[in-house]
Amino acid sequence: MKKSNPFPRRRIAVLGATGSIGKSTLDVLRQNTLAGRDDFEVVLLSSYTDQEGLLRLGEEFPDAILVLAKKGGLIEAIAEAKPDITVNGIAGAAGLEPSVAAIRAGSDLALANKETIVMAGPLIFSMAVEKKVRILPVDSEHSAIFNLLKAHGRDNAEEILLTASGGPFRKLSLKELGAVTAKDALAHPTWKMGPKITIDSASMANKGLEVIEAVRLFDMPPEKIKVVVHPQSVVHSMVRMKDGAVYAQLSRPDMRLPIHEALFWPETAPSPFGVLNFDALTLEFEKPDEEKFPMLPLAYEAARLGGLYPCVYNGANEAAVEAFFAEKAGFLDIPRIVEYVLSKRWNTDTLDMGSILEADRMARDLAKEFIENNRGK
Ligand code: MG
C-alpha cells in the first residue's frame, strides 16, 4: 500500500518566474499549499527584467534566492540553490545555458523552454544521462506525447500527430498576411502567452520549433511527425500506433495542467484546475497551409538536415521576430529571413556547446544583414 503522501518534498527553482509559464507554475505551487500539502519548497526565482514583480514574489516565498537575470548571476545561483527540479520558463535561446546549469546542479528539468532541445537536444540528453536527471517536457503537446508514448509503448508507435491551434491568422489570405502588424498578432484566441511565442504561434514557427522538439525528444524522424491544425486546442496531441489505433490526450487548454503533471512525475496528484466539459464541445481538425505558413516546411527541412540547422532556424527566427516588433520587417519577411539563413552551409556533425552558441550568434548576424539589405523591398 502507498503512503498517504508518496512525494518526497522537493526543492524547486522557477526560471522566468514573472513570465507566463512562471506565473502558471507558481499558481500550481500555491494550489498545492491551499490543498494542505507541502510537496515543494521554492528555492530560486528568476526574472529577466521585472524587478518589481520579482520582489513581490520574494515576499511570498521568503526562502527563495531572487535573481534579476539581466544583471547576470543566474548560472551561479542555480548551482548554489541546488534544486531538485527546475522549471525553465525562460523565453527563447536565453533559456539554453540555464538549462545546462540546472542539469549540472543535478536537477530534474521541467522544460517549457523548447529552444533548449531545438538548439542542443543531443547534448542535453547525454548530459542528463550522465547526471541521472530527468527531462520532463512542459510544452502541452510534448507533455501529451510523452504521456501517450509512456502509456501505449514507444516501440508500438507509428507516428505522432502534433496538434496546432493554427494561430490567429489561420483564415487570412496571403495578401492579408503581408499587412499584419505586431499588434494584430498579439491577440491570440486560446492560450495567453508571452509576446515572442505569440508571434511564433501566428507564423507557425512555434509549431515548427515543436516539430523539431518532438524529433529530438522522442527520437522520431521528421516524416513521422504530422502537424494537424485543431483550433480548439483541447486535443494536445495524438499518437498513431502500428495497429492503426490513434490515442489522444485531451484537457482544458490551461498550461497549469502540463506543469502540474511534470512536477509530480512519475506519480500523479489530483489537479484543482477544472475538468473538460463535453456537453458543448466541438473538435475540428484540418491540414496546415504550408504556402501561407512557410515556417512549418522550413522547420521540417531544418529537422531533416539536423546538426546545427535547428539551432540556426531558431536563431534566425528570433532575430526576424525582433525586427518585426521593431517594424523593420513585415510578417511575411519572417520566413524569408529564416530561409536565407538556412540556405547557408552549417555543420551537421556532433555538436558541442561552443559551436551551438556560435551558430546561434552567426544566424542572428546573417538575419540582420539580410534585413538591412532588403529594407523597403
Ligand atoms: Mg506548445
Q: Provide DSSP, 211-227.
A: HHHHHHHHT--GGGEEE
pLDDT attached to residue 3: 46
Q: Rounded to two decimals, what is the model's pTM?
A: 0.94
| 208 CA → ligand 1 middle, Å | 10
| 206 CA → ligand 1 middle, Å | 7
Q: Round to whole Å and give the CA distance between 288 and 285.
A: 9
| 207 CA → ligand 1 middle, Å | 7
| 235 CA → ligand 1 middle, Å | 12
| 193 CA → ligand 1 middle, Å | 10
| 354 CA → ligand 1 middle, Å | 28
| 88 CA → ligand 1 middle, Å | 14
Q: Chain-centre distance of CA 144, in angstroms?
A: 13
pLDDT attached to residue 189: 53
Task: Work out whether strand 235-241 and strand 246-250 pair parallel, antiparallel, or are unpaired.
Answer: antiparallel
| 246 CA → ligand 1 middle, Å | 20
| 82 CA → ligand 1 middle, Å | 28
| 293 CA → ligand 1 middle, Å | 17
* DSSP classification of residue 286: B
| 266 CA → ligand 1 middle, Å | 21
| 140 CA → ligand 1 middle, Å | 5
| 255 CA → ligand 1 middle, Å | 9
pLDDT attached to residue 297: 98
Q: Round to whole Å and give the CA distance between 48 and 29.
A: 21
pLDDT attached to residue 197: 85
Closest-CA residue to 196 (of 377, 1, 16): 16
| 2 CA → ligand 1 middle, Å | 34
| 192 CA → ligand 1 middle, Å | 12
| 112 CA → ligand 1 middle, Å | 9
What does R_g of the chain's alpha carbons equal in angstroms?
20
pLDDT attached to residue 2: 43
User: What is the grid cell recorded at 250?
Assistant: 485531451
Which single residue is written with the C-alpha cell 527584467? Answer: 49
Sign of CA dihedral 93, 256, 141, 44: positive
C-beta neighbour count of 130 within 10 angstroms: 10
| 62 CA → ligand 1 middle, Å | 32
Give yes or no for a contact between 368 and 319, defined as CB atoms under 8 angstroms apart.
Answer: yes
| 66 CA → ligand 1 middle, Å | 27
> How would you class 166 by CB atoms within 10 Å of its CB: exposed for 0-12, middle for 13-18, buried for 19 or more?
buried
| 201 CA → ligand 1 middle, Å | 9
Residues with CB under 5 A from ligand 1 (ion): 139, 141
User: What is the grid cell recorded at 161?
Assistant: 500527430
- Mean pLDDT for back-to-back runs of 10 residues, the chain (377 residues): 64 97 97 92 97 98 96 97 98 96 98 96 97 97 97 97 93 92 73 78 96 97 98 97 98 95 93 92 96 97 97 98 94 97 93 94 98 83
Task: Work out whether strand 135-137 and strand 157-164 pair parallel, antiparallel, or are unpaired.
Answer: unpaired
Look over the chain and give the mean of its residue pLDDT values, rounded to a whole number: 94
CA angle 112, 118, 123 (to 5 degrees): 100
| 117 CA → ligand 1 middle, Å | 13
